[in-house]
Amino acid sequence: MAKLEVGSLTTRDDCVALDANDVLAPLRGEFTLNEGEIYLDGNSLGPVSRAVLTRVNEVLKTEWGQGLARSWNDAGWMEMPTRLGDRLAPLIGAQPGEVLVADTLTFMLAKLIGGALDQRVDRHVVLTDVANFHSDLYIVQAMASRAGRPVTVKAVERGALERELGGDVALVMLTQVDFRSGELLDMKAITKMVHDAGALMLWDLAHSAGAVPIDLSGADADFAAGCGYKYLNGGPGAPAFLYVRKSWQGVLENPLPGWLGHARPFDFEYLYEPAKGMQAFVTSSPSIIALAALDGALDVWDRVTIDQVRAKSLALTDLFIELVEARLPGVFEIVTPREHAQRGSQVALRHPLAYGVIQSLLERGVVGDFRDPDIARFGFAPLYVRYVDVFDGVERLVDVMDAEGFDDSRFATRRPVT
């Protein structure tokens, strides 16, 4: 990152200069953001863009409003899951025809886990990360218990994965960027290690899609899934995406079949016969309004590359870490790795009163979030977060820590969403 004085702390003026030279700066105007507010929670829910408003309005007024049931044919509604999958494919290093957009992430994981377990019937273990997101842990246990043979889920420490990767492991399921710490895993090296052990690899890309360059093809990953509402800005509860490598298509079975994944849905046949390609992973009617929102949200990717986004993401997180360390020495443990190759697009600060810190920041117009038990989490979405936002955000964090209001008793009870 360019600093005006070598060795000195980045100033607010430096940040203004960095924003003025930022190739992504014009994109901020595409998003609806509250004046004066610093939004560092795009890793949880991205903001709405102009293209989303336009696209959803068009669906409501014209496609649904006037076209009604005709729009299933005339507006290409049936093709939306595969068309949006193809739009998303370059962002995750997939080929056209390898990605589908439907359901939400946990459902997609269920389909992939269930399908994958049927491909390794002589093996009885699923390996995952004990720090994985709880929904991933719940669904993998549920699918394992319904595998039709005894299958044990082993949730282990990340460092123990290699040791645990024995000949009885059918599937390894990992989240590429840790939702708490922001640690980024080496997709290529891990996938190779898993394949060398004869197991299949499923990646959860919830915190990496739209934030870090992903090369599923290059890593030879078998399966992947991720959600549409974090860095992809598809809206609350946006549809998820699912990736099945070409060579698995026609082999991997959808354990949750439905009429729209049938080869001939409108023949209303008694027996299920899967459609060709990714369509087989569709279960039910596409959620058209939600898909339209995600469609609009993807427009921005016609104007930027993920490499531009990654470069700015690292600069923003570097700056945040630098300022927090300089302005608040010893106050927080910085949990997120310093090494660029191991960092996603968020920074996690550990503090015993992290919930109160996040709530006090909210009162000062900085939106981050809290992850139990002691993590204050800040996401840096380069499409709309500026360098000055990082600077001002840290200044407000300094105010919070100086004022000590974060230990107030009104923060003793947590709100339902933290």
Residues designated as active site: 133, 204, 229-230, 377
* Measured distance CA(41)–CA(274) in Å, rounded: 39
Work out whether 89 is an interface residue with ligand PLP (CB under 6 A): no
Q: How far apart are the first and last CA of the chain?
A: 33
Sorted by sequence, the CB contacts under 8 Å of residue 193 that are 6+ apart come out as: 161, 162, 165
Work out whether 180 is an interface residue with ligand PLP (CB under 6 A): no
* Measured distance CA(394)–CA(349) in Å, rounded: 12
| Residues 377/180, Cβ–Cβ less than 8 Å | yes
**Neighbour-count burial of 256, counting CB atoms closer than 10 A to its CB (0-12 exposed, 13-18 middle, 19+ buried):** middle
| Residues 112/242, Cβ–Cβ less than 8 Å | yes
Work out whether 366 is an interface residue with ligand PLP (CB under 6 A): no
Query: What is the Cβ-side half-sphere exposure of residue 167, based on CA atoms within 13 angstroms?
Result: 1
**Least CB distance to ligand PLP at residue 153 (A):** 15
**Least CB distance to ligand PLP at residue 257 (A):** 20
192-251: contacts with ligand PLP (CB under 6 A): 204, 206-207, 227, 240
**Least CB distance to ligand PLP at residue 407 (A):** 29
Work out whether 52 is an interface residue with ligand PLP (CB under 6 A): no
**Burial per residue of 107-142, b for 16 or more beta-carbon CB atoms within 10 angstroms, e otherwise:** bbbbbbbbbbbeebeebbbbbbbebbbeebbebbbe
Nearer to ligand PLP, 10 or 104 (CB): 104
Nearer to ligand PLP, 41 or 136 (CB): 136
Closest of 39, 2, 123 to residue 382, by C-alpha? 39
**Least CB distance to ligand PLP at residue 7 (A):** 38
**Least CB distance to ligand PLP at residue 186 (A):** 17
Work out whether 179 is an interface residue with ligand PLP (CB under 6 A): yes
Nearer to ligand PLP, 87 or 207 (CB): 207
Work out whether 100 is an interface residue with ligand PLP (CB under 6 A): no
* Measured distance CA(198)–CA(97) in Å, rounded: 26
Per CB under 6 A, which region of 129-137, 161-169, 307-315, 353-361 contacts ligand PLP? 129-137
Phi then psi dihedrals of residue 295, to 5 deg: -60, -50
**Near ligand PLP by CB under 6 A: residue from 77, 133, 243, 380:** 133
Nearer to ligand PLP, 228 or 393 (CB): 228
Residue type for position 47: P
Work out whether 135 is an interface residue with ligand PLP (CB under 6 A): yes
**Near ligand PLP by CB under 6 A: residue from 10, 71, 128, 175:** 175
**Near ligand PLP by CB under 6 A: residue from 129, 136, 222, 318:** 136
Nearer to ligand PLP, 204 or 295 (CB): 204
**Neighbour-count burial of 251, counting CB atoms closer than 10 A to its CB (0-12 exposed, 13-18 middle, 19+ buried):** exposed
**Least CB distance to ligand PLP at residue 107 (A):** 7
380-409: contacts with ligand PLP (CB under 6 A): none
Long-range CB pairs of 64-69, under 8 A, 24+ apart, other chains included: 64/288, 64/289
**Near ligand PLP by CB under 6 A: residue from 105, 147, 232, 383:** 105
Nearer to ligand PLP, 240 or 309 (CB): 240
Tell the residue number behind the tokens 């014009």, with chain if given: 26
Work out whether 283 is an interface residue with ligand PLP (CB under 6 A): no
Neighbours of 190 (CB within 10 A): 21
State the DSSP string of 176-201.
SB-TTT-BBP-HHHHHHHHHHTT-EE
Nearer to ligand PLP, 227 or 292 (CB): 227
> For binding to ligand PLP (CB under 6 A), which residues are involved?
104-106, 133, 135-136, 175, 179, 204, 206-207, 227, 240
